[in-house]
Amino acid sequence: MQFDGYEPGNFYDELFEAPGKPRPEANLLIEKINSLPSDELRRRQEAAQTTLMKLGATFNVYSDRQGTERIFPFDVIPRIVSATEWAKLERGLKQRVYALNCFLADIYGDRKIIQDGVIPLELIESASGFLAPCMDLKPPGGIWCHITGTDLVRDRAGEWYVLEDNLRCPSGISYVLENRRVMKSSFPELFAKMGIQPVDGYPGHLLDTLLNLAPKNLPAPTVVALTPGIYNSAYFEHSFLAQQMGVELVEGRDLVVADGYLKMRTTKGLERVDVIYRRIDDTFIDPLVFRPDSYLGVPGLTEVYRQGRVAIANALGTGVADDKVIYAYVPQMIKYYLGEEAILPNVPTYLCWEPKQLEYVLANLDKLVVKAANESGGYGMLIGPHASEEQRQNFAQLIQASPRNYIAQPTLMLSRVPTLGDSCFEGCHVDLRPYVLYGEDIYVHPGGLTRVALKKGSLVVNSSQGGGSKDTWVLCQR
């Protein structure tokens, strides 16, 4: 298959500047693909899919007891990010995560940002991720958001924007590592020539980040990964990361609070746990403090945590910053805490709780994307230009009934990457989720998950809605 007839269209194409003209950083890749015998690319794609299935890089579709696991659809044509582009993203992400951490420490502590009138108190306290029991919490080293999976998008002009921050338990990193493993066997010759930054260091960095939270005087602290169990859709990733870090993968029922410490039940008795990498939502983690109906958590854990006798990553309560209304204030946070302008801008966001903005949103529903402030994964969303009049009417009512819970953004024409179609290459829309670790320093993992909307023309990249993934090649500085 050849790129001869490939049409980048009226979008920012990540690999092509113009029809027939690859971007400089993509030259070698396009040349290589063009030189392959016809069908060779498809053969490599199929081999890659088979390998992913064998590796068990699956997510669960657990509607019955048959046990069905599917692979996250994978496209063999990578997305390339140049070294200069990446350097800017790296700076922007570090700045953003640093400011978000200041914000979390502040609102669960002195609340200066509220007193200084930058963000109204009622917005914070009405955010569903805000947890009152976390007030005055002092997590080790003052770090709250140890792992952040920021979603970035590019518009028609190629400008980068932050779409979401994902400060609770961002998932997807296992696909990054497995996709790369597969791509290295698909295109070994390109890895030799192009200077692509390796991604295999992630589990090591994650373990360092977690060990950084353990009490300093312990010779051999115990780190565990806490999973909701085998029925969780991301169970493969939990098990994969535990294995790669060499830590115990535990469920809530393995843990118990005894003598004021968190312990795990082992065949040799109870053993102390010092750090939890949790893949359970905040409100499920302790039935005594949060949802009493949760069987996934550990009764009494929050108290042990408050006493500083166990560390949790991410800290409890970080979800407050995932509220899309709070998200809109991140540029102000950066200014307030760091005195800097945001390197990576937000997508322009209209807040429906402000009467003037509400008026604008209601008058322009056919042009905007409306999102519920507390939802994620592509749920609770109206894509105005693609919606019917009736759907827009419904949303208008929802918004007016509770304006605090809705925001609106212009419909972004996401950038595209050529993707292997049935008979030719087709441009498909993508986003990018880099992973940021906050340990002793802030570390931005070189790459991240490129999600691609495989349905033709679709702008929705979520795996539940026909999305797939691509490998992300961040090039080294030359």
Partner 1 sequence: MLSRVADAIYWLNRYVERAENVARFVDVNLNLMLDSPTGAIEQWEPLVLITGDQEIFKNRYDQATAENIIQFLTFDREYSNSILSCFLQARENARSIREIISSEMWEQVNASYLMVQEAAQDPSRVRWPEFFNEIKLAGHLFSGITDATMTHNEGWHFGKMGRFLERADKTARILDVKYFILLPSVQDVGTPLDEIQWIALLKSASAYEMYRKCKQHRITPNRVAEFLILDREFPRSIEFCLLQAESALHQITGTPAGTWKNPVERSLGKLRAELDYLTIEEISEQGLHEFLDNLQIQINGVGTKIFEVFFALQPLN
- 253 lines the binding site for partner 1 (CB under 8 A): yes
SS3 category, 63: coil
Applying CB under 8 A, among 85, 155, 208, 248 the residue interacting with partner 1 is 248
Amino acid at 410: P
- 260 lines the binding site for partner 1 (CB under 8 A): no
Report the chain's terminal Cα–Cα distance, integer Å: 31
- 398 lines the binding site for partner 1 (CB under 8 A): no
Q: Are 166 and 330 in contact (CB under 8 A)?
A: no
Applying CB under 8 A, among 239, 357, 391, 462 the residue interacting with partner 1 is 239
Q: Are 412 and 385 in contact (CB under 8 A)?
A: no
Q: How many residues bind partner 1 (CB under 8 A)?
A: 28
Nearer of residues 85 and 248 to partner 1, judged by Cβ: 248
Amino acid at 305: Y
Nearer of residues 244 and 458 to partner 1, judged by Cβ: 244
Q: What mask of x and - would describe binding to partner 1 in positions 213 to 232, judged by CB under 8 A?
A: ----------------xx--
Q: What mask of x and - would describe binding to partner 1 in positions 31 to 70, judged by CB under 8 A?
A: -------------------------x--------xxx---
Amino acid at 11: F
Applying CB under 8 A, among 250, 365, 370, 449 the residue interacting with partner 1 is 250
- 356 lines the binding site for partner 1 (CB under 8 A): no
Task: Give me the long-range contacts of 26-32 (CB less than 8 A, separation at least 24).
Answer: 26/80, 28/190, 28/193, 28/194, 29/77, 29/78, 29/80, 29/187, 29/190, 29/194, 30/3, 32/187, 32/189, 32/190
The Cα–Cα gap between 146 and 144 comes to 6
Q: Are 153 and 304 in contact (CB under 8 A)?
A: no
Nearer of residues 106 and 237 to partner 1, judged by Cβ: 237
User: Closest Cα to residue 128, out of 374, 441, 409, 392?
Assistant: 374
- 263 lines the binding site for partner 1 (CB under 8 A): yes
Nearer of residues 199 and 242 to partner 1, judged by Cβ: 242
CB of 32 to partner 1, least distance (A): 31
CB of 280 to partner 1, least distance (A): 16
- 115 lines the binding site for partner 1 (CB under 8 A): no
SS3 category, 243: helix
Could you check whether the bond before residue 346 is cis, i.e. omega within 30 degrees of 0?
no
SS3 category, 191: helix
- From 43-51, 154-162, 268-276, 433-441, give the range in contact with partner 1 by CB under 8 A: 268-276
CB of 230 to partner 1, least distance (A): 5
Residues near partner 1 (CB under 8 A): 56, 65-67, 229-230, 235, 239-240, 242-243, 248-251, 253-254, 256-258, 263-270
